[in-house]
Amino acid sequence: MTFTSVNPHDPADVLGEWQAAGPTEAAAAASRAATAAAGWREAPAAVRAKALSDAAAALEQRSAEITGLVVREVGKPLSEARGEVARGVAVLRYYAQAALLPDGETIPAAAADQLLMARHVPVGVAALITPWNFPVAIPLWKAAPSLAYGNATILKPASAAAATALALADILGAVLPPDVFQVVLGGAAAGTALIDHPDVAAVSFTGSSAVGRQISRRAAERGCRVQAEMGGQNPSVVLADADLDRAATAIAYAAMGFAGQKCTATSRVIVEDSIYPRFRDRLAAAVEALQVLDPADGKTLVGPVIDPGSRESALAAVASSGGRVLTGGTALDAPGYYLSPTLVELDQPAGPLATEEVFAPVAALIRAGTADEAIAIANAVRYGLVAAVFTSDLGGALRLTRNLEAGMIRVNAPTSGVDFQAPFGGSKESSYGPREQGLAARSFYTESRTVLIVP
């Protein structure tokens, strides 16, 4: 079976057609990875560090090419695509250095002449199942620590980001031993084969909650470690003492930038009652000011959604919300898959816009009587990835950060945006397993060995 990747800005522009791997091909890749892992785990840390550093230099040298590919393949606005590629370079350099950090610790033993230590060793083969919306950053923030800590790594990207994944494989393959990093193109059958393969010791997934739960159960049943970063229904809470203009600008972009196709995008805007009318007008104006068409234009901030099904699903969510559309709510008359940035005022925090991840340039606006009510509304969903609070009372903000049910909380900053050197992950149904990124990644891609040496 073959599949294609098309430009969502211009669906007539086909980036490529590839043969989809099935279970047999995926299993063969896992077996090759297991053979390669035996040598890579013995490579000195300095060798692994140099490989990642060389990959960073190669990605940086090809940054204009890869940026253009990201714009074309997933419709990411040029400014964001540049930033994503730059982040990929930084992630590779970060883990090149992390490979040289201490790989364990010594512990007082029972006798003075004994040596007791705990060392981190690679798990073996890691399978990475990644989405299309961050086709450079997400594969690299998973692959870089996996490789740095000595694992062979298999990437199964979303089909809509196949061309970008192959470009990354070209860069990493040039600096790594054969089969230490592989890309498997395919759908659910290939992913399932990797998850079930006995040589795969760890599975890291980013995608929808429904698929993440299935993968987590399947991997856990055979004792494979699993990490799943799933959906978000992220609130931005605006309190009465906030800088309203600053909040409106930040939230408009957090909700609508890259057509809202980020797990960290703002889905709900919860506003304290006393400032609600003033903020509603500011936010609607900020949303309307965002440039939508042509992601290759440096001024564009929104861009298309990935496919027609995503657009229709978003429009259906708007239609069934029961609220009032303040701006947007229509498909644009353009060749690509465009949806006008949409802000919907809800009377009650109910319906799909207030409870589910829509993954489109759509956000709900909800009124709250008090700050405590705003936090209660923010927490009343099954997701808990990221939340934002806009306020000038930093002491109050610290209190609210203890009460918000989210893995990441940002004060006077948009929900969107990730610091790769910090742990990344959510609570409730947004995450399962250990955190990603930063030094926290080591706990997933390695296991601890306690060693006692008696002379």
Residue 430 clears pLDDT 90, i.e. is over it: yes
Mean pLDDT, to the nearest integer, of 10-21?
Answer: 96
Pair of tokens at residue 390:
């806009």
pLDDT for the residue numbered 396: 86
**pLDDT by residue (tens digit) across 163-210?**
999 999 999 999 999 999 999 999 999 999 999 999 999 999 999 999
For the chain, the straight-line distance linking the first and the last C-alpha, in angstroms and rounded, comes to: 60
Pair of tokens at residue 340:
């006008």
The full DSSP string for 97-121 is HHTTS--EEEE--SSTT-EEEEEEE
The dihedral over CA atoms of 135, 414, 293, 165, expressed in degrees to the nearest 10, equals 0
Strand partners, 116: 107, 452
Q: Which one of the listed residues 80, 229, 272, 429 is annotated catalytic? A: 229
CA–CA separation, 213 vs 229, rounded Å?
10
Residue type (1 letter), 207:
G
Is residue 263 among the annotated active site residues? yes
Of all residues in the chain, what percent carry a pLDDT higher than 90?
97
What rounded mean pLDDT belongs to the chain?
A: 97
Mean pLDDT, to the nearest integer, of 408-426?
Answer: 95
pLDDT for the residue numbered 1: 87
pLDDT band at 113 (very low <50, low <70, confident <90, very high): very high
Is residue 229 among the annotated active site residues? yes
Pair of tokens at residue 205:
């997934």
Pair of tokens at residue 31:
């077996």
Q: Which one of the listed residues 73, 80, 224, 263 is annotated catalytic? A: 263
**Residue 269 contacts residue 236 (beta carbons within 8 Å):** yes
Mean pLDDT, to the nearest integer, of 344-364?
Answer: 96
Find the helix or strand (DSSP H, E) in which 26 lies: helix 23-40
pLDDT for the residue numbered 400: 87
CA–CA separation, 134 vs 72, rounded Å?
13
Instruction: Give 321 or 267, the one with higher predicted confidence.
Output: 267
Find the helix or strand (DSSP H, E) in which 128 lies: strand 125-130
CA–CA separation, 207 vs 430, rounded Å?
10
pLDDT band at 3 (very low <50, low <70, confident <90, very high): very high
CA–CA separation, 413 vs 301, rounded Å?
18
Q: Among candidates 95, 148, 122, 136, which has minimal Cα distance to 438?
A: 95
**pLDDT by residue (tens digit) across 48-70?**
999 999 999 999 999 999 999 99
- In order of their start, the domains of the chain are 2-230+430-453 (3.40.605.10), 234-411 (3.40.309.10)
**Residue 184 contacts residue 29 (beta carbons within 8 Å):** yes
Q: Which residues contact 332 (CB under 8 A, 6 or more apart)?
A: 292, 293, 338, 339, 340
**Residue 428 contacts residue 383 (beta carbons within 8 Å):** yes
